[in-house]
Structure formats: C-alpha cells, structure tokens
Structure 1
Amino acid sequence: MTKLSVICGKASEDLGGKLAKKVNANLVKSDVRVFPDGESKITLKGNISKIKSVVVQSFYPPVDTNLIQALSMISKVKETSSEVIAVIPYMGYARQDREFLPGEVITMKVLAKLFKGAGASKIIAVDIHSLIGLKHFTIKTKNISAIPDLAIYFKKLSLKNPLIVSPDQGGKERAKEFAKQMEIDYIALDKKRDRKTGKVEIKTKKVDVVGRDLILVDDMISTGGSIINATKFLKKEKCGRVFVACTHALLMNDAGKKIKKSGVTKIVSTNTIPGKTSIVDVSNTIAKAIV
C-alpha cells in the first residue's frame, strides 16, 4: 500500500516532482484543461494514498485560477486519503490578512474556510507575507523559511565585505536571520508607503555602505517598487554590487528588467514560483516539514 502520495498542481509541477523524490512518495500529476470561458477541468493521474497525501500548488497569477485548482485537487484527494496536507509554496492573498481601510474584505479569513471545507487537515506555507493570515485558520498551519536555502547560495559567491539590507523596517527580522545564517551584519532602511496610491519612498538619510556588496532581502517582489527605490538610494551612497534575494519572485509588469535597470547585479529567488530567477530549490525544506 502506498503510504504517501504527492499530488502536484500545474503551478508547482517542478517543485512537486522534486518534493516527491525527497519524501520517497508516489507522484500524482494533474492534467488541466482550461475552457474558453476560463473554467478549469482537472484530472488526477496516478495512485492516491489512502493514508496520507500532499497537494502542492502555489497560487501566483492567475491567482484565482491556481487557487480554485488547489481547492479542487484537495477535495478530490480527500475522497481517497484520510489525511491531506496542503503545501502552498507561495500563498496568494497573504497581504489581505486584516482590514487596513474600512470595508475591506479580509480574504485570508475566507481562504481559511475554503481550505477547511475542501478537506485539508494541515497547511504548510513558505515565507508567508504575514503570520497574522495563518491565525484565521482553524486547521493546523506551519510557516517554513527559505532563508537558510537562500543563504547557502550566497555563501558560495565571492562577495566584498557583504552586508544584508532590508528595504524596510517590516523586514528587519528577516534580514537579521539572513545575516545570522551568513555570519555577517545587516541594516534595515526606513520607507513609507502611501496606502491609497501605493507609492513608496525611502526615509533613511545616510548609511555607511561605501564599496560593500549588498544583498537586498525581501519575502516577495511584485512590482519591485521597494527594491528599486532602495537600490537607487544605496547606489547614491556609493555601495558596491547589489544583489536581490527573495523567496517569491512575482516580478509583475517587467519588474525584473526595471530592477536590473536600477542597478541590481542579479535577482535570486526560490522555486516557490517558477521563473528565470528561481534558482534556489526549497523542496528539501518542505520535505522536512512534512515528515
């Protein structure tokens, strides 16, 4: 009898395949047909464990499509498996974890109900944008960090007097942990974001980074506004090379090109979202959380 099966959605095929090998599980692939009106029809191909299954699916753009596919797969797998663990490498909607402005829907609260209703017994996320979002879930949740995996990559590079930089105070703890893993120092810039327009500006006046190679660390990069502003500021302060390290590289609207144009040498992200920059594999870290 198959004790463990890994079911990977179309959004996480590569990562799901790697994870199945790491945990010695039976891999079940999903065949997805999208109708002209946008509806998804999913067929799971492979043997699903009666004991325990892991459904792997990120929901990056198209967010709602990938989310519905994740919920649909969980529901189908639950018909066979006693336990269904939902691995959401990139948790879309995580920024909507509280009511910032009057009348806003707390979408993470909605997701919590949907995943429980679909049959998930546990949620595993990688570097979720805010841990507050997981507090809305009534099933077990676990957030795991990709920082050790990213740090291993950067340790192999020949960097000149490197320094970890967080583009804002909100990411200070992330920068601190990254710096600890690499055994180097860190700083956090002050930024201000207009809640209505989304415009970001750096409030920090002066930093001592002359000639130093910098690693700008963030959990996710969407449009890249924070990274671009931080890079321009740091370049004016006469720093060396600027590298960007993030777990989730959404890179919307040519953000990758814009970031490079601002003076960034290289963007390094994990395979929670597949793409040109996703060169750090987190399957081993996820495997440890499952076993």
Structure 2
Amino acid sequence: MHLFAGSSHPALAKALSAELKAPLGSLVTKTFSSGERYVRFGESVRGRDVYILQTAGKHPNEDMMELFLLCQAAKLSFAKTVHVLLPHMPYARQDRVSEPREPISAKLIADLLEKAGADHVLVLELHSDQIQGFFSVPADALSSRLIFAKEFRKKKLKNPVVVAPDVGGAKRAKKFADALGVPLAILHKSRPEHHEAEVLEVVGDVEGKTCILYDDIIDTAGTLLSGKEALLARGANKDVYAAATHGVFSGPANDRLKKAGFAEVVVTDSIPQDDNAFPGLTVLPIAPLLAEVIRHIESGQSVSELYGE
C-alpha cells in the first residue's frame, strides 16, 4: 500500500498516516501563474496499490481538478490500483434534475473520477444513497454515525431526541437515533430559494426534549436556524444541539452560528476546520475510521462489518 495526499487537507493526511503507521508518499503539487494545477509523484508507483486522499474543502473546483490529475498520473505511472479517499464529495446535493435544464452534477463528478483513473472510491456520508449508483467502479459510502453516537453518549443528555432536518434525511437520522437508542422527529420544510429553508411542521414529540439536529452537511446554516426556531416554538428544551458530518460553513454561516445560541455544533474534520470559528464548535476526527476501512480493504475484509451489518 502506498498512501499519498493532495493539498486540500494536510492535517487529515498527517493524522491518517499516523493511524496507519504508514508514511505519506512523495508528491509534488503546485499552481502555475496561469492558475493551472500541476502534480507529479515523487517516487515509483508501478505495480502498487495507491491510496490518494483528497477532500473538497473551501475550494472544491481546484481540489477536484488536482484529484483528477493525481488519478491520471497514477494510472499513467502503472499503478496496480487507484483507491480514492474522498471524505467530502462536492456537488453531491445536485443529485437529480429538480428544475428544467439542470445538470446532474454528482453523476458528472463520478464519471470524471472514473475517467481520470479511479478504480475504487471511498466517500463519507453521501447526501443521498442514489449517488453510490452513479459510479461504475466500486464505491464505498461510509457513514459517520458511529463517530457521533460515541460522542453524544458521553454527554448523557436529558430526554434526547434526534431530529431529521427534512424528509430526505430521515433515513440517515433514524440510523443515528437507533445507534443512540433514542426516538426520532422529522422537520417538514420547503426551499423557496437556494440556501433558504422554511420549516412548515415538526413530526414527532419534541416537547421538553433535548433535540439533536442531525444532517450530512452544514453549509450556510439556514436549515439549522429555522429548525431550531421551530423546535423551540414547539416546547423543546432550550439546549438544542446540531451535528453534521461536513462543516462547509460558507457565506454567513459562522456569523449566524455565533448568534444562534446552539448548545453545541458538532462536525467532523472531513473538511479543514477552524476550531475557534464560533463558540460551541466541536470537531471530531475521521482518521481512525478511514484507517480502519483501509485495513479492512487491505486484508480483504468486509467494510460493512464496521457497522455491524
């Protein structure tokens, strides 16, 4: 096994290398003055199983272009297999045509990864299950729910309930609720515009309960704020928690969350984070999960065994 990392998340690369007790391979990445990316493997990968770690951070287009180049460079250098570790897959929310003349951007990302040379893709907490079917090469869709379950068990919350931010996220939230052994509630919302969310109804009992809003991603935090307001209006405990795998925190998110007064906002380090971006932010590491998955792959074990499936 040869482990390499693009430039998108050096801290995660270092943590994964430490977990695996495997050094990071030599890699040259740079940007020309024209804005074009350049990559080169600094050592031979001929006949090797190559693992490339790259996530979509604050600059997803640049990060993905670098990843495509790395995959092709590995293939052209006669790597035996190219495993792509893509904790945060960009464009995942564009997984269907919801308005006339739109692309299915998530399908295009999957196609580009395959065309670039990926033999196997690992992604963390896809926005929807159908995206796994966009890949023709093997794709492991990992879940972070056990990471969050371990964290929230330690808190020993009073009368907790897991809240799905919408009907589409109910299946994900139900698995997390089952892992915690607590009930589930669901918000019914509409989106009048991109990055705008309006909660119309709360399905389930939240009165007097400590609510955990559980989602795959926090972007501008509009969904979180409208969800929190709806829960408090229906008698929920004032201490509302938020948990999501991918903390994008774009645009007004940090300012909104500084003022929102969540008891805690818990995300993973699938994207580089500033731990001090706003009060109450907790960042959980994913390197142990990624390392365990890689060990299972290398030994020919089932990845789903990690979730008791």
State the TM-score, normalized to the length of structure 2.
Answer: 0.85
Compared CA separation, residues 206 and 246, structure 1 to 2 (3 A)? closer
Q: Tell me if the contact between 2:186 and 2:202 (Cα under 8 Å) persists in the aligned partners.
A: no
Compared CA separation, residues 237 and 30, structure 1 to 2 (3 A)? farther
What is the aligned counterpart of 1:153 among 151, 154, 159?
Answer: 151
Aligned residues: 287
Matched, 1:281 2:278: no
- Kindly provide the amino acid, as one letter, of the partner of residue 32 in structure 2: F
Write the distance in 2 (CA, Å) between the matches of 1:7 and 1:278: 27
Structure 1 position 218, deviation (Å): 0.3
Compared CA separation, residues 151 and 206, structure 1 to 2 (3 A)? closer
Deviates more, 1:255-264 or 1:55-64: 255-264
SS where residue 156 of structure 1 aligns?
A: helix
Counterpart position of 1:244? 242
Deviates more, 1:161-170 or 1:37-46: 37-46
Structure 1 position 46, deviation (Å): 5.5
Q: Tell me if the contact between 1:5 and 1:20 (Cα under 8 Å) persists in the aligned partners.
A: no
Compared CA separation, residues 10 and 207, structure 1 to 2 (3 A)? same
Fraction of identical pairs, as percent: 27
Structure 1 position 125, deviation (Å): 0.4
Counterpart position of 1:102? 100
Residue-by-residue CA offset, 1:55-107 (whole Å, 9 max, x unaligned): 01111331110000111111222214201101110000111222222211222
- Kindly provide the amino acid, as one letter, of the partner of residue 31 in structure 2: V
Structure 1 position 176, deviation (Å): 1.0
- Please provide the CA RMSD for this pair: 2.1
Q: Tell me if the contact between 2:125 and 2:245 (Cα under 8 Å) persists in the aligned partners.
A: yes
State the TM-score, normalized to the length of structure 1.
Answer: 0.90
Write the distance in 2 (CA, Å) between the matches of 1:158 and 1:37: 53
Higher relative contact order, structure no. (Cα contacts within 8 Å, ≥ 6 residues apart)? 1
Deviates more, 1:76-85 or 1:29-38: 29-38
Q: Tell me if the contact between 1:83 and 1:121 (Cα under 8 Å) persists in the aligned partners.
A: yes
Residue-by-residue CA offset, 1:136-191 (whole Å, 9 max, x unaligned): 22111110100101111111114222111111111111111111111111211111
Counterpart position of 1:17? 14
SS where residue 220 of structure 2 aligns?
A: coil
Counterpart position of 1:259? 257
What is the aligned counterpart of 2:218 among 214, 218, 221?
Answer: 221
Write the distance in 2 (CA, Å) between the matches of 1:167 and 1:77: 40
Q: Tell me if the contact between 2:188 and 2:203 (Cα under 8 Å) persists in the aligned partners.
A: no
- Kindly provide the amino acid, as one letter, of the partner of residue 191 in structure 1: K
Matched, 1:163 2:161: yes
Q: What are structure 2's unaligned runs of at least 5 residues?
A: 276-280, 298-309
What is the aligned counterpart of 1:181 among 175, 179, 182?
Answer: 179
Structure 1 runs of 4+ with >6 Å offset: none
Structure 1 position 258, deviation (Å): 0.5
Q: What are structure 1's unaligned runs of at least 5 residues?
A: none
Counterpart position of 1:74? 71
